[in-house]
C-alpha cells in the first residue's frame, strides 16, 4: 500500500493520520499534507492520502457513477477496499467535485446506539481560505473560526446545519484541495 | 536533572539507535492501526461517546495499560516526544516500561517534562503543569462505562446513552449525600461532555476534572479489556455532575508538599516510619522536581532520611 513513496510507508500513514486527527479535533484548522502520494488525474493528492491512510478492506468506499476508471482502479488496488454504489452502504464516501454533490443526507448517518457507524465523507474542493466565509463554532474551536471554501456548492452548508441538528447522528466531512485538508465533524455549528 | 533522553535524535525516516526494526513501526500492524485510527476519529467527532474497537492482545496483561498503548502505538510518529506517567510519577515500573517499549518499537524521543511532550500517556493523573495547544493526552482506562455500577447490562447502558437517560447517575451521587452528607466520589467522578454524553474521566482524582474543561489539549481514552475508545476534543465543555445545593468541589489539603512547598497540587500522603511520622508530597513528580529546581523548598526538603522520595539516593537505613 505504498503508492509511490520511498522507504517507510508506515511513517507516511502516521503523518497523514496525525494531520487528519489535528483537523478533526480542531475543526476549521487547515493542514497541508504535502505531495504524497501520486494519484491519477482528478484525484487530489490530499484526498488520495486520506483514503490510503483510513480506507481498507473493512470499509466500503462509495464513489459516484461518473468516477473515471483509473481512479476506481487506483483506490481498489491501493486501499484494497470494496467499492459500493449504494450511498448508505459506504463507510467512506469520495466526492470528486464539491460543486457536483449527491444528496448528502442519503449517506449513513449512524445508529442512535452506534453513532460511530456513520459515514466519513471526503469532498474535493478548489481552495480553502481562513478568516472569511462561514462562521464555525463547536467543540474543538476556541471561540469561533471563519473559513471560505472555493469549489463547494452552497447547499453544503445547509446540509451541515441539518447534520449538526441530528447529533449524535451525522456524517463527518473532510474537505480536500490538491494539498490541504480541513475537517468538519458533526459537532460543527455553522452560522451562514 | 531528572530529565532524560532515552534515545538519540535521528532524522526523519531513519530508524533511531534504540529502534527495534524487527517489528512494524509502532509494534502494531498497519491494518490494526488504521482500524484504531478510524475509531479515534469517530471518538473525536462524538465527544464522550465510547467507540467500540477490535482491541488486540498486547505484550502485557489487561489492567497494565493495554488500551493506552494501542492508542499510543497508533498515534506516535518520529517527530513526537513521549512522556508516560503512572499516578503522576514518571519513574514507576509501569511508566518506565511503557516508555522503554515505545522508545524501542518507534524510536520516539522520550521526556519527563510535561512542557516538552507532544504525547503523554497517563494512568490516573493529569499533569499539574497546564497542557497546551497540540498536546495529546492518552489515558489508560480500566472501566470506560460510567453507568456500569448502576446497570450491568451493556445493551441497557447503550440505550441509556442513546436516549440521554441519565437520571440514575444523579441518584448515585444523591445516595452519597444521603449516606455521607456530601458527594463521596473522589475519583472516576462522572462528567458530562459538551452537554450530551456522560463520560468516565478514567480513575483520575476529581481534583483533575476541572483540567478537562476547555482544555487546549486533545484527550483520548483507551480501554483495552473493554475495547472502547473515547475522546474529549480541545476547547470542549466538560462539566462534573453535581447538585445546586451540593456543588462540585475538589480535594484540598491542610499541608503543602514537603519537598517543594506547593499548595496547589495533588498531594500523596507518605508514611515515613513507625513513629507515626508522615509527609505529603506532590503526586506529579515532574511538577515537584521543576519547582525544586526553581528554588522552592518545602518543610521536609532538608531531611536526610527521605532521599528515596527526593530521587537523590537509595533508601536510608
Tell me, yes or no, whether B77 and B138 share the same domain: yes
The answer to whether residue B317 is domain-embedded is: no
A62: β partners: A84, A93
Report the CATH number that the domain containing residue B97 is assigned in CATH: 3.40.50.11310
A1 reaches B (C-beta below 8 A): yes
Chain A positions touching B231 (Cβ under 8 A) are 25
pLDDT given for residue A4 in this prediction: 41
Helix (H, G, I), strand (E, B) or coil at B239: strand
Q: 10 Å Cβ neighbour count for B175?
A: 12
Per cent of chain B over pLDDT 90 is 83
A15 and B41 within 8 Å at the Cβ level: the answer is no
A10 and B25 within 8 Å at the Cβ level: the answer is yes
Tell me, yes or no, whether B232 and B261 share the same domain: no
Does the pLDDT at position B197 exceed 50? yes
Residues B78-89: tens digit of each pLDDT: 899 999 999 999
The answer to whether residue B178 is domain-embedded is: no
Higher pLDDT, B9 or B38: B38
The answer to whether residue B174 is domain-embedded is: no
The answer to whether residue B92 is domain-embedded is: yes
B26 reaches A (C-beta below 8 A): yes
Chain A positions touching B236 (Cβ under 8 A) are 139-140
pLDDT given for residue B1 in this prediction: 30
Tell me, yes or no, whether B38 and B99 share the same domain: yes
Nearest to A172 among B35, B45, B194 (CB): B45
Does the pLDDT at position A50 exceed 70? yes
Mean pLDDT computed over B219-241: 97
Nearest to B77 among A15, A114, A140 (CB): A15
Does the pLDDT at position B11 exceed 50? no
| Active-site residue flag, B260 | yes
Chain B positions touching A59 (Cβ under 8 A) are 38
The answer to whether residue B181 is domain-embedded is: no
Residue A155: domain span? 2-191
A21 and B161 within 8 Å at the Cβ level: the answer is no
Tell me, yes or no, whether B138 and B272 share the same domain: no
Q: What is the ipTM of this complex?
A: 0.96
**Contact of B222 with B122, CB cutoff 8 Å:** no
Tell me, yes or no, whether B202 and B297 share the same domain: no
Catalytic residue among B65, B107, B282, B298: B282
Tell me, yes or no, whether B127 and B70 share the same domain: yes
Tell me, yes or no, whether B211 and B119 share the same domain: yes
The answer to whether residue B114 is domain-embedded is: yes
Residues B205-229: tens digit of each pLDDT: 999 999 999 999 999 999 999 999 9
The answer to whether residue B46 is domain-embedded is: yes
**Contact of B114 with B196, CB cutoff 8 Å:** no
Mean pLDDT computed over A73-81: 96
Nearest to B34 among A21, A54, A120 (CB): A54
What's the pTM value of the predicted model, to 2 decimals? 0.93
B63 reaches A (C-beta below 8 A): no
pLDDT given for residue B17 in this prediction: 61
β-pair type (B191-193, B238-240): antiparallel
Does the pLDDT at position A84 exceed 50? yes
pLDDT band at B237; cut points 50, 70, 90: very high
Tell me, yes or no, whether B232 and B193 share the same domain: yes
The size of the A-B interface in CB pairs under 8 A is 113
Residue carrying the nine cell digits 482528478: A42
pLDDT given for residue B203 in this prediction: 94
Helix ranges (H only) for chain B are 30-45, 66-75, 93-106, 154-162, 167-180, 209-212, 285-293, 307-310
B25 and A15 within 8 Å at the Cβ level: the answer is no
Mean pLDDT (chain B) is 91
Catalytic residue among B55, B107, B257, B298: B257
Report the CATH number that the domain containing residue A117 is assigned in CATH: 3.40.50.11310
Does the pLDDT at position B60 exceed 50? yes
Split into its structural domains, chain B has a count of 2
Does the pLDDT at position B9 exceed 90? no
Mean pLDDT computed over A55-71: 96
Chain A positions touching B132 (Cβ under 8 A) are none
Which A residues, 124 through 143, put their C-beta within 8 Å of a C-beta on chain B? 139-142
Split into its structural domains, chain A has a count of 1
Q: Report in angstroms the alpha-carbon separations of A133 from A128, A136, A190.
A: 10, 9, 11
Q: How far apart are CA A109 and CA A163, in angstroms?
A: 9
Across B101-145, the runs of DSSP E, i.e. the strands, are: 109-110, 119-123, 136-140
Residue B261: domain span? 255-301
Tell me, yes or no, whether B44 and B141 share the same domain: yes
The answer to whether residue B34 is domain-embedded is: yes
Residues A89-120: tens digit of each pLDDT: 999 999 999 999 999 999 999 999 999 999 99
Tell me, yes or no, whether B88 and B235 share the same domain: yes
pLDDT band at B22; cut points 50, 70, 90: confident
| Active-site residue flag, B48 | yes
Residue A118, phi then psi, degrees to nearest 5: -75, 170
- Strands of the sheet containing A180-184, edge to edge, are A31-32, A180-184, A172-176, A120-124, A92-95, A61-63, A83-84
Q: How far apart are CA A158 and CA A124, in angstroms?
A: 18
Q: Report in angstroms the alpha-carbon separations of B302 from A57, A136, B131, B292.
A: 62, 54, 31, 12
Higher pLDDT, A116 or B107: A116
Please report which helix (H) or strand (E) contains residue A132, including its range.
strand A127-137
A15 reaches B (C-beta below 8 A): yes
B11 reaches A (C-beta below 8 A): no
pLDDT given for residue A87 in this prediction: 96
Does the pLDDT at position A44 exceed 80? yes
Tell me, yes or no, whether B131 and B264 share the same domain: no
From the CA of A88, how many Å to the nearest CA of chain B? 17
pLDDT given for residue B71 in this prediction: 98
Chain A positions touching B197 (Cβ under 8 A) are 168
Q: How far apart are CA B76 and CA B67, in angstroms?
A: 14
Residues B115-156: tens digit of each pLDDT: 999 999 999 999 999 999 999 999 999 999 999 989 999 999
Residues A148-173: tens digit of each pLDDT: 999 999 999 999 999 999 999 999 99
pLDDT given for residue B308 in this prediction: 73
Chain A positions touching B30 (Cβ under 8 A) are 1, 9-10, 13
Amino acid at each position: 500500500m505504498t503508492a509511490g513513496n520511498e522507504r517507510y510507508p508506515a511513517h507516511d500513514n502516521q503523518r497523514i493520520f496525525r494531520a487528519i486527527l489535528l483537523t478533526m479535533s480542531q475543526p476549521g484548522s487547515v493542514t497541508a499534507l504535502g505531495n504524497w502520494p501520486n494519484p491519477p488525474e482528478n484525484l487530489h493528492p490530499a484526498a488520495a492520502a486520506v483514503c490510503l491512510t483510513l480506507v481498507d478492506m473493512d470499509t466500503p468506499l462509495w464513489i459516484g457513477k461518473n468516477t473515471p476508471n483509473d481512479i476506481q482502479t487506483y483506490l481498489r488496488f491501493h486501499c484494497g477496499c470494496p467499492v459500493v454504489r449504494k450511498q448508505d452502504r459506504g463507510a467512506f464516501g469520495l466526492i470528486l467535485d464539491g460543486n457536483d454533490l449527491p444528496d448528502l443526507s442519503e449517506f449513513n448517518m449512524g445508529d442512535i446506539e452506534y453513532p460511530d457507524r456513520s459515514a466519513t465523507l471526503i469532498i474535493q474542493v478548489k481552495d480553502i481560505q481562513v478568516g472569511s466565509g462561514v462562521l464555525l463554532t463547536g467543540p474543538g474551536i476556541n471561540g469561533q473560526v471563519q473559513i471560505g471554501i472555493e469549489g463547494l456548492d452552497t447547499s453544503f452548508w445547509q446540509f451541515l446545519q441539518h447534520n449538526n441538528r441530528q447529533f449524535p447522528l451525522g456524517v463527518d466531512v473532510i474537505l480536500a484541495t490538491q494539498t490541504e485538508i480541513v475537517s468538519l465533524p458533526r459537532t460543527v455549528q455553522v452560522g451562514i | 536533572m531528572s530529565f532524560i533522553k532515552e534515545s538519540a535524535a535521528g532524522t526523519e525516516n531513519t530508524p533511531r539507535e534504540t529502534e527495534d526494526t524487527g517489528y512494524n513501526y509502532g509494534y502494531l500492524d498497519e491494518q490494526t492501526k488504521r482500524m484504531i485510527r478510524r475509531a479515534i476519529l469517530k471518538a473525536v467527532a462524538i465527544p464522550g461517546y465510547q467507540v467500540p474497537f477490535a482491541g488486540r492482545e498486547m505484550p502485557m496483561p489487561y489492567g497494565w495499560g493495554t488500551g493506552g498503548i494501542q492508542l499510543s502505538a497508533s498515534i506516535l510518529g518520529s517527530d513526537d516526544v513521549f512522556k508516560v506517567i503512572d499516578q503522576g510519577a514518571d519513574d514507576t515500573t509501569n511508566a518506565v516500561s511503557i516508555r522503554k517499549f515505545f522508545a524501542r518499537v518507534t524510536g520516539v524521543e522520550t521526556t519527563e517534562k510535561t512542557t516538552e511532550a507532544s504525547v503523554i500517556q497517563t494512568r490516573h493523573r493529569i499533569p499539574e503543569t497546564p497542557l497546551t495547544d497540540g498536546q495529546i493526552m492518552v489515558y489508560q482506562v480500566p472501566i470506560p462505562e460510567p453507568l456500569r455500577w448502576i446497570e450491568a447490562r451493556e445493551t441497557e447502558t447503550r440505550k441509556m446513552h442513546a436516549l440521554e437517560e441519565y437520571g440514575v447517575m444523579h441518584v448515585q451521587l444523591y445516595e452519597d449525600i444521603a449516606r455521607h452528607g456530601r458527594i463521596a466520589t473522589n475519583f472516576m467522578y462522572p462528567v458530562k461532555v459538551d452537554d450530551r454524553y456522560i463520560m468516565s474521566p478514567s480513575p483520575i482524582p476529581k481534583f483533575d476534572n476541572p483540567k478537562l474543561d476547555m482544555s487546549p489539549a486533545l484527550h483520548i481514552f483507551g480501554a483495552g479489556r473493554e475495547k472502547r475508545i473515547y475522546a474529549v476534543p480541545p476547547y470542549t465543555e466538560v462539566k462534573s455532575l453535581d447538585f445546586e445545593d451540593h456543588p462540585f468541589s475538589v480535594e484540598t489539603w491542610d499541608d503543602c508538599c514537603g519537598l517543594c512547598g506547593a499548595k496547589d497540587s495533588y498531594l500523596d500522603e507518605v508514611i515515613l516510619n513507625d513513629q507515626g511520622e508522615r509527609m505529603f508530597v506532590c503526586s506529579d513528580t515532574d511538577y515537584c522536581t521543576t519547582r525544586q529546581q526553581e528554588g522552592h523548598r518545602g518543610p521536609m526538603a532538608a531531611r536526610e532520611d527521605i532521599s528515596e522520595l527526593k530521587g537523590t539516593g537509595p533508601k536510608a537505613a
